């Protein structure tokens, strides 16, 4: 299944408490469970004003539908074509 990176502009995201992050995660997981097996949340990175999420999904439309159903922004959705790391240089 293809991977996607979703950029969500959420002012103050870096100041969210563990309880805030738990609530957001629970909302996301609840929506995902209703959408079936063609979309899966892998993990997210929280920065000052953005959350970058990595998903596996059959297509971009499902990623955007998840954002719509969950009330989350999806300011940018990009398909991942390759993953590189220091081992790639060897």
Q: Please report how many Cα atoms fall inside a 13 Å half-sphere around the Cα of residue 78, on the Cβ side.
A: 8
pLDDT of residue 57: 98
pLDDT of residue 83: 95
pLDDT of residue 67: 98
Domain that includes residue 15, residue range: 3-89
User: What are the structure tokens assigned to 76, written together?
Assistant: 């940018």
pLDDT digits (tens, 9 = 90+) for 25-79: 999 999 999 999 999 999 999 999 999 999 999 999 999 999 999 999 999 999 9
Residue 69: CB atoms within 10 A of its CB come to 15
pLDDT of residue 1: 94
- Give, in degrees to the nearest 5, the angle at Cα 37 between 74 and 24: 40
pLDDT of residue 10: 97
Residue 63: which CATH number? 3.30.70.3090
- Structurally, how many domains does the chain consist of? 1
User: What are the structure tokens assigned to 1, written together?
Assistant: 């299944």
């Amino acid at each position: 299944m293809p991977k996607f990176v979703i950029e969500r502009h959420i002012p103050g995201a870096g100041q969210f408490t563990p309880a805030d992050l738990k609530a957001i995660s629970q909302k996301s997981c609840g929506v995902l469970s209703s959408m079936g097996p063609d979309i899966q949340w892998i993990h997210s990175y929280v920065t000052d004003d953005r959350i970058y999420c990595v998903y596996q999904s059959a297509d971009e439309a499902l990623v955007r539908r998840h954002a719509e159903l969950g009330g989350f922004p999806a300011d940018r959705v990009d398909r991942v074509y390759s993953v590189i790391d220091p081992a790639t240089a060897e």
